[in-house]
Amino acid sequence: DIDHLNLRVQKELVEWLNWLKADIGFDGWRFDFAKGYSADVAKIYIDRSEPSFAVAEIWTSLAYGGDGKPNLNQDQHRQELVNWVDKVGGKGPATTFDFTTKGILNVAVEGELWRLRGTDGKAPGMIGWWPAKAVTFVNNHDTGSTQHMWPFPSDRVMQGYAYILTHPGTPYIFYDHFFDWGLKEEIDRLVSVRTRHGIHSESKLQIIEADADLYLAEIDGKIIVKLGPRYDVGNLIPAGFKVAAHGNDYAVW
């Protein structure tokens, strides 16, 4: 174990981070198991190494009901993510992985897309509260891949990417999905739509519909995304929008 409260440890880790920046060329940090030490310690490392980007892994359990599924209200879960960024410094480069969105998406794509509209009408994950500081993802090396600890439904992975690559937040693409699963072209197409229309971490999200079999949302008034098997949604799509990307149970106009 590393004693992060030891001043010598802090000094040597800061020197190492600055060496990684100056000599190797890294410009951002990922804080693994960030709940294993205080946000005050993470703030020391960030403030003294000045990365352009930093993201923390704060993986805690969602609140579950008696049916074994996540409760609709996950405010306590996302509040923990927000609190970490607040303590480290909201005006700096610190962000956190949006585990709240990940957990809700896992279940929502299995025929419960109503979960993607929170009780306040906004996105139910951290992106509904502080999207500029939320790093969204479908799977990572812990949840998917060989460890398979909290995997996204494998046959619905592209619905997950259609969501995070069109929505606010900073989306993260999993290496396995891009290079090993044969999804490169589909993911590339969604990235192109995001880039072409200037969708960014603080883009404005308007949820049009959120039912069991349909989630429909407009982002920045520029693109519309649909998740779910419901096919006939033409009456909900404003004139002038044309399909830019589509796949199994998702489409983007």
Cα–chain-centroid distance for residue 158?
14
Burial class (CB in 10 A: 0-12, 13-18, 19+), 12: exposed
- Grouping H, G, I as helix, E, B as strand and the rest as coil, residue 232 is coil
**In which band, very low, low, confident or very high, does the pLDDT at 147 lie, cut at 50, 70 and 90?**
confident
Determine the CATH number of domain 58-203: 3.20.20.80
**Domain-wise residue ranges, the chain:** 58-203
Q: Classify the C-alpha dihedral 78-71-207-246 as positive or negative.
A: positive
SS3 199: coil
Collapsing DSSP to helix, strand or coil, 11 comes out as: helix
The pTM of the full predicted model, rounded to 2 decimals, is 0.96
Catalytically active residues are 32, 57
Separation CA 21–CA 69 (nearest Å): 43
| Tens digit of each residue's pLDDT (9 = 90 or more) over 192-233 | 999 999 999 999 999 999 999 999 999 999 999 999 999 999
DSSP of 111-148, one letter per residue? T-GGGGS-TTSS-SSGGGT-GGGEEE-S--TTTSTTT-
pLDDT of res. 145: 84
Q: 58: which 2 tokens?
A: 């704060």
Alpha carbon 56 to its chain centroid, in Å, reads 12
194 φ, ψ (degrees, to nearest 5): -60, -45
For β-strands 205-210 and 215-219, DSSP reports them as antiparallel
* DSSP summary character for residue 111: T
Q: What is the pLDDT of residue 234?
A: 86
How far, rounded to the nearest angstrom, does the alpha carbon of residue 73 sit from its chain's CA centroid? 18
Q: Which of 247, 248, 188, 240 is nearest to 218 (CA)?
A: 240
32-56 pLDDT, tens digit per residue, is 999 999 999 999 999 999 999 999 9
- Cα gap 23→70, rounded to integer Å: 45
State mean pLDDT over 167-183.
97
